[in-house]
Chain A
Amino acid sequence: MANSDAIVGWKTITFGCHILEPGNSVNFRTGDWRSQRPVVDKEKCIKCGMCWIFCPDMAYTQDEEGYFEANMEYCKGCGICAHECPKDAITMVPEEG
């Protein structure tokens, strides 16, 4: 089950299931589907942002130093970032438990 602030009951679900607020998918923290997580090796990372571009869930954000990191509340562990990284700086590590 997705961990979410947006889970509604039949009384609170929007009329006709319309989405009235744009971008509300951010309320659905679907990262708990993940079976593996991307780990970035900052020694290899050149801050090119390919992971940020290719991430299908827009889970990556750039930190103050310019490195990219995936938000584990949304990352589903698909591994596209690791596959696309030109410097092989991202390793997919199995989630434990």
Chain B
Amino acid sequence: MSKRVGIEVSIAISEAVGLARAEVIPAYPITPQTHIVEHLSEMVANGELDAEFVPVESEHAAMSCCCGAAAAGARVFTSSSSQGLSLMSEILYIPSTMRLPMVMVVANRALSAPISIWNDHQDIMVQRDIGWIQTFAENGQEAVDLTIHAFKVAENRNVSLPMIVNIDGFTLSHVIEPIELPDQEDVDKYLPPFKPRYKLDPRRPITMGPVGIPEVYTEAKVAHDKAIKNSKRYILKAWKEFEEVFGRKYEPVETYRTEDAEVLLVGMGSICETAMTAVDKMRDQGQKVGLLKIRLWRPFPAQEFRKAVGKTKILAVIDRCLPPGAVCGPVGAELRSMFYKIPGAPKIFSFVAGLGGRDVTVSRFEEIVDKARAFAKKRPRELYEVIGVREK
């Protein structure tokens, strides 16, 4: 039987990586991801996990090492955050087009300057287009479940892509929650040993990572794009199998009290927990408000999202990222372009909130809903609004 324990989410993620029997873990510590790799290092040192822990000299080296290990056919895990993730950036595009499966948990954190160790989504939005599959966890249980799910998806021979599980730094990484850690037996059943389609093997030499001359580069990128789009069916299948084995159900876009909603909040990650409380409060007051949670960010589940919106006419999209000089935040931009010129499309209003660890409280969600309703009546001058910014 699986056991429900009070455990820090970072430690629980490490335990999940152990249950998944990761074989190579190249990682460099960075706040707020530190506890994940620290605990994995302990597990390896104590002989609890039969893996190679590579204490690399930087995140750039960590991701390079991950690529090599995955190319050799190992089950690979790493974790990073913020500045560290940015230092990896050069390498992040490589395993995805090279179709090397691996799993990374990103403890989302703001980017400098000013220096901030606190949570928002700017670090991962910088890496939006690296071509990895990406999910967002809302709480500790999801973080554990999505980590195990990520191995299943990434290593599927029809997918064979690296995968990121995003967890909010501190809000999730450092919080102690009651989490159900699955049994080893069940995880083994769900996650068979990794059998790569190709690996570096002296007995059957191949070349990985050659030059792509102009005659083939476009085709290589299109093949990657098609592969990640095609991965959605296997992501869904792996969630269905997850439900069968572990009893918890996951969907690419989850709905909360969306029936007859006039306004839908749209969010990703841990703020959705607060948003649910806000929706309950507003519903109690008779407001027809619901919530859409984007769990699968890449490939973007457009079909599921449109279905989840239904007939709702107003979307209030919350981005935890402010891209200076852009028309709006990345999630807002994604949804606006997705609905462009679609008959009956909702009005989409973009909000930026929760930067650099600022809490997004219930009253902030109420403010967002009020503003979205007002904007629907009178078009705002700006294409997005930053919530809670002091105008003085």
Residues of A bordering B, CB below 8 Å: 1-2, 4, 7-11, 13, 15-20, 22, 28
Given contacts A10-B219, A17-B98, 4 further A-B contacts (CB under 8 A): A13-B223, A15-B160, A19-B210, A22-B207
* B-chain residues with CB within 8 Å of residue A10 when the two chains form the complex: 218-220, 222-223, 226
* CB<8 Å pairs between A and B, sample of 23: A1-B214, A2-B213, A2-B215, A4-B215, A7-B215, A8-B219, A9-B219, A13-B219, A15-B197, A16-B160, A16-B208, A17-B97, A17-B209, A17-B210, A17-B212, A17-B216, A17-B220, A18-B198, A18-B207, A18-B208, A18-B210, A19-B210, A20-B198
Contact with A along B89-105 (1 / 0, CB 8 A): 00000000111100000
Cα-based distance from A10 to B220 in the complex (angstroms): 6
Q: Contact partner of A20 among B160, B206, B218, B222, CB < 8 A? A: B206
Q: Which residues of A contact B212 (CB under 8 A)?
A: 17
Which residues from chain A contact B213 at a C-beta distance below 8 Å? 2, 28
How many whole Å from A65's CB to the nearest CB in chain B?
36
Chain B residues proximal to chain A, CB less than 8 Å = 97-100, 160, 197-198, 205-210, 212-216, 218-220, 222-223, 226
Secondary structure of the A contact surface, majority rule: loop
Q: Is the CB of B216 within 8 A of A8?
A: yes
Chain A residues near B99 (CB-CB < 8 A) = 15-16
Complex Cα spacing A8 to B223, Å: 11
- In angstroms, Cα B223 to Cα A11, docked, is 7
Q: Which residues of A contact B208 (CB under 8 A)?
A: 16, 18-19
Query: What separation, in Å, do the CA atoms of A13 and B214 have in the docked complex?
Result: 14
Q: How far is the CB of B313 from chain A (nearest CB, A)?
A: 39
Chain B residues, CB < 8 A from A8: 216, 219
Give min CB distance, B31 to chain A, whole Å: 34
User: In the complex, what residues of B have CB within 8 A of residue A4's CB?
Assistant: 215
CB contact under 8 A between A15 and B198, given known A10-B222, A10-B223, A10-B226: yes
A19 adjacent to B216 (CB under 8 Å): no
Q: A2-B213, A10-B226, A22-B205 are in contact. Are A16 and B98 (CB under 8 A)?
A: yes
For B209, give the chain A residue with the smallest CB separation: A17
Q: Shortest CB–CB separation between residue A23 and chain B, in angstroms?
A: 10
**Complex: A49 Cα to B215 Cα, angstroms:** 33
- Cα separation A17 to B212 with both chains bound (whole Å): 8
Given the complex of chains A and B, what is the CA–CA distance between A80 and B112 in angstroms? 51
Chain A's nearest CB lies how many Å from the CB of B203? 13
Give bound CA distance, A8 to B215, whole Å. Answer: 8
Give the chain B neighbours of A18 by CB distance below 8 A.
Answer: 98, 198, 206-208, 210
CA distance A11 to B215 in the complex (A): 14
Query: A27 to nearest B CB, angstroms?
Result: 11
Residue of A nearest to B218 (CB): A10
A16 touching B219 by the CB < 8 A rule?
Answer: no
Q: What residue of chain B has the Cβ atom nearest to residue A12's Cβ?
A: B219
B223 surroundings in chain A (CB, below 8 A): 10-11, 13, 17
Say how far A28's CB is from chain B's closest CB, in angstroms: 8
Complex partner residue of A19 from B206, B215, B219, CB under 8 angstroms: B206
**Assembled-state Cα–Cα distance A90/B209 (Å):** 37
CB distance from A1 to the nearest CB of B (A): 6
**Nearest 9 A/B pairs, CB to CB:** A16-B99, A19-B207, A10-B222, A10-B219, A10-B223, A16-B98, A13-B219, A17-B220, A18-B208
B198 contacts which chain A residues (CB < 8 A)?
Answer: 15-16, 18, 20
Smallest distance from the beta carbon of A42 to chain B beta carbons, Å?
Answer: 35
The winner among B100, B205, B219, B222 for most chain A CB atoms within 10 A is B219
A7 to B160, CA, bound (A): 24
A1-B222 contact given A15-B198, A19-B206, A22-B205, CB 8 Å threshold: no
Residues on B with C-beta less than 8 A from A1 are: 214-215
- Distance to closest chain B CB from A80 (angstroms): 21
- Report which residue of A18, A22, A28 has the largest number of chain B beta carbons within 10 angstroms of its beta carbon: A18
Q: How far is the CA of A20 from the CA of B198 in the complex (A)?
A: 9
CA distance A17 to B207 in the complex (A): 9
